[in-house]
Amino acid sequence: MRIPALIACALAMTLSHGLSAQEQSGDTSAREVHKAACQQEANLIYRTGSRGIGMSEDTRSQIIAARRAHVRDCMARAGQAPG
């Protein structure tokens, strides 16, 4: 009779600790989700055909810079600084 009670108690303590850790990282995960959405938007706006095969290095670096600037602006519009 004691073993199921101990297992239930240990399980409850483990779950509550996991939930509190998730609550503490809630801001980070929301920020990461928003940053991923901004990156996806930048990739759609500044997409290249054929995955950039045959593209000059200068053109490739300009597209990467434009994508980064778009993500930075998107995060700034949301009131969150990129990291």
Q: What distance in Å separates the CA atoms of residue 61 and residue 48, rounded to the nearest whole number?
A: 12
DSSP state of 28: H
Could you tell me if 31 and 71 are in contact, meaning their C-beta atoms sit under 8 angstroms apart? no
Which sequence spans correspond to the domains of the chain?
2-77
**Is 63:48 a contact under the CB 8 Å cutoff?**
yes
Q: Which of 7, 71, 2 is nearest to 42 (CA)?
A: 71
Q: What is the pLDDT of residues 7-16, one digit of tens each?
A: 666 667 666 6
Residue 80: which of 38, 48, 43 has the closest Cα?
38
What pTM was estimated for this model as a whole? 0.58
| pLDDT confidence bin for 42, thresholds 50/70/90 | very high
